[in-house]
Amino acid sequence: MLEFVEGDVLSSTADAIVLTIDGAKKGMEGNIARSYARRWPDAWMEIEDAIRYPVSLGRCVAVAPKNESQFRWVLLASTLHHLDFLTDAQKAGVIRAALGDAIKLALRHRVGRLATAVMTGGWRMELKPALAAMLDILRPITPQLHALTVSIYTLTPGQANLGIQMIKQQFGEMHDPEPCPMRCEPERPAYFQPGMSPKRGR
């Protein structure tokens, strides 16, 4: 299942979170990863010690910190390219590869819910093309994600509504006899259905 949530991704109750880094070397993480480090410094030190640099661009590594952390698993996605020049198409490819890698790791480690912000690569991409790249990966595999919920966190209702509209456009093109390939239990309606607003943070 896929859902959009308005709120702080670090306050999520998900089992795992995606944090972006520059995999070239230690100490070149993204803003959300830095906020994680300030909130759970011991866990972050443990995570950094566990990463074997360099991490190739577009790859993701999983660490289960033993020190206090909101999340059972932290997935470090190498999407920040401080030194390399990439075209927009290449940037989208990095996002697709990293998110695909994160989902594989989440399934391997039996994660029930995976939280991520929109992977703009430190604002190296605009919001809409970054969301489009993420949905390119999620669209074909979402019907198979029976045991995993992917929660995409946004900062504003407008951003979440943009994501919902893009989902309706992309998934509406699928010729599936079911009402929609992304759905949830009746007491929790899908957040992209017409007339519904994105869920607020949890």
pLDDT digits (tens, 9 = 90+) for 74-94: 999 999 876 667 888 988 999
Residue 42's pLDDT is: 95
Residue type, 1: M
Residue 156's pLDDT is: 86
Residue 85's pLDDT is: 78
Counting as low any pLDDT under 70, the low residues of the chain are 82-84, 122-123, 142-144, 171-202
Q: What is the pTM of this model?
A: 0.82
Task: Give me the number of domains the chain comprises.
Answer: 1
The domain that contains 22 carries what CATH number? 3.40.220.10
For 82, what's the count of Cα atoms within 13 Å in the CB-facing half-sphere?
Answer: 11
Tens-place pLDDT, residues 54-75: 999 999 999 999 988 999 999 9
Torsion of CA 100, 103, 108, 111, to 10 degrees: 170
Residue 187's pLDDT is: 27
Domain region containing 61: 2-200
- Give the C-alpha separation, 173 to 104, whole Å: 25
Residue 119's pLDDT is: 92
